[in-house]
Amino acid sequence: MKRAFSPFLLTTYLWLAACQPGSQAPTPTTKQAPRPTQKAVILAINDVYRIEGAANGTMGGLARVRTLRKQLEAEGQPVLLLHAGDALSPNTMSKHFNGGEQMIDILNMMDGAPDAMDPYMVMTFGNHEFDIKDAATLDARVEQSEFYWLDANIDWQDEEDVDLVQASNLLPAKMFTIGALKIGIFSLTTPDTQPVYIDGFDDLEETALSFCTKLREQGADVVVGLTHLRASEDEDILRKLGAKGPDLIVGGHDHVEIARNIDGRWLVKADADALSARVVTIEKDGGTLQVKQNLVKLGEGALDEKDPDVAARVDEWMKKFDPDGTREAAVGYTQTTLTAEELTIRRFETNIGNWVADQMRTAYPKQKADLALINSGSLRLNDVIPVGPIKQGHIDELLPYQTGVLVVQLSGAEIQAALEHSIEDWTGSGHFLQISGLRYTHNTTDGTVSEVVVGDNPLDPQKTYAVALSSYIAGGGDGYDNFADAPRLAEGVDLETLLIERLKKIGAPGINPAVEGRITTTE
């Protein structure tokens, strides 16, 4: 349903939000005395796919987020917890537990009161929330949440004039009062994924300007944009809107920590899976606003303490998920540590990326492929696999989506364009490609691709090549639009099945892939 930004409608939304717990409705006054120094603390996380964290729970995870929030709250006032989207998908546990029941259950414990509304927690929708195909399941997860969700730029589909996603804790914007400081928050979600229950997404810049204006009219001392966008889009909003835009953007989607000061206004993000959290301190002394931020690493060697109640509930879910230990069964072996951490695989050549792409290139015995490409966002283990057994759970988490292998026909010019897109916005986005059958140089100083070689020969822009692709990008996903129209030469192989078959065939001592210089990264 298209949301109109009428002054009456938006004012009503914000007045209602201000009357929720944790907020105060604006009180008319003719004259106000100068306020003392005002201070508030924001704890921000984003792109958390696993309740336990990474590396078998030794890094990140929500039990450590709860510990950090408790430590910050010990200073004597509420801490505003912001989640910048992507929690319900993709991971194999969420598929098993009806669209992420386990994730919401654990997030409900972030205030230490699992059966009560958290008046100081807000989440927005990431694109992967929309992996949930039916609105009823998504609405159920929002209804299950004991915190607020924001949807400022989302136009939900309606049925007989009733929104299909319509939970009472779903708002376009929310006003909080912490101490003497009023904080207005609105959201922006990337339009990259549009399920059938969404009519469309409102313009990012126009939405930000409209909500910033109205929140300030409602008395906000600080306006925060809670976004799930690429960092370049966040930066554009801050630059173009300037003082009319948000004072701070707390974002997600990039999976790597970011802290950038754009003309005096901060853009901050944390690492995925709560490997880190961002702590933002906002102070206002008279008319002067100061925003300070720092990154807190969570896990071994940093803040390592897990909240015992959250940790115990996580263990309950983990046992419920794999009661008979099936995920611990070995499907193969590796002679070397396999690197699939997102901070690496989304920016550089990796040994596991090479191995997966090699299997794709040889997936069809009767259809030779010259090269293979898979977007790193399809390889979501976010961990390392140590020397020894490769478990069923490793493969399940590596490929949480059903992923096919197709062979298509592409020109050299199209391959060149794909490589250039791969290294765009080089901050850890999932469209970075792992490759087989070619090599190239990535020049990070000017963001260019050079010295592209297929086999032993330079890439020929006029020549056509047989290219093995993962099904997501073969369908035009991650911005590889031209792949959707490429002539199909072979299809039908499932990538997870292929990898397990190859691992079992090799047996012990196992695979031994290496980083070979397929992608040379220059500074």
pLDDT of 455: 95
Long-range contacts of 3-9 (CB under 8 A, 24+ apart): 3/155, 3/172, 3/202, 5/202, 5/206, 5/207, 5/210, 7/214
* Any domain includes 340: yes
Centre a 10 Å sphere on the Cβ of residue 107 and count the other Cβ atoms it contains: 28
391 and 456 within one domain: yes
350 and 248 within one domain: no
492 and 387 within one domain: yes
* Cα→Cα distances 302→58, 64, 105, 375, 417, Å: 11, 10, 26, 31, 41
Q: Per-residue pLDDT for the chain (523 aa), expressed as one digit of tens each?
A: 544 444 434 544 444 444 444 444 444 444 555 555 689 999 999 999 999 999 889 999 999 999 999 999 999 999 999 999 999 999 889 989 989 999 999 999 999 998 999 999 999 999 999 999 999 999 999 999 999 999 999 999 987 766 688 899 999 999 999 988 999 999 999 999 999 999 999 999 999 999 999 999 999 999 999 999 999 999 999 999 999 999 999 999 999 999 999 999 999 999 999 999 999 999 988 778 899 999 999 998 899 999 999 999 999 999 999 999 999 999 999 999 999 998 899 999 999 999 999 999 999 999 999 999 999 999 999 999 999 999 999 999 999 999 999 999 999 999 999 999 999 988 777 899 999 999 999 999 999 999 999 999 999 999 999 999 999 999 999 999 999 999 999 999 999 999 999 999 999 999 999 999 999 999 7
pLDDT of 27: 46
138 and 73 within one domain: yes
* Any domain includes 250: yes
Q: Name the domain count of the chain.
A: 2
Do residues 296 and 275 make contact, with C-beta atoms less than 8 angstroms apart? no
372 and 257 within one domain: no
Q: CATH no. for residue 504?
A: 3.90.780.10
**Distance from chain centroid for Cα 230:** 10
* Any domain includes 17: no
Pairing of strands 276-285, 38-45: antiparallel
351 and 269 within one domain: no
393 and 276 within one domain: no
Of the three residues 267, 289, 317, the one that is the final residue of a domain is 317
Q: In what order do the strands lie in the sheet with 433-436?
A: 433-436, 371-375, 464-470, 404-411, 488-494
Which residue matches tokens 């989302």? 154
210 and 355 within one domain: no
How far apart are the C-alpha atoms of 453 and 350, rounded to whole Å?
18
* Nearest to 157, CA basis, from 134, 137, 140: 134
**Token pair listed for 76:** 């004597």
Of the three residues 317, 343, 364, the one that is the final residue of a domain is 317
93 and 45 within one domain: yes
Calculate helix-pair angle for 495-506, 351-361, nearest 10 degrees: 100
223 and 75 within one domain: yes
45 and 153 within one domain: yes
Do residues 449 and 420 make contact, with C-beta atoms less than 8 angstroms apart? yes
Q: Which domain holds residue 63?
A: 40-317
Do residues 493 and 359 make contact, with C-beta atoms less than 8 angstroms apart? no
* Any domain includes 496: yes
363 and 295 within one domain: no
Which residue matches tokens 């399940």? 396
Pairing of strands 404-411, 464-470: antiparallel
pLDDT of 36: 57
Cα within 13 Å of Cα(140), Cβ side: 13
pLDDT of 285: 83
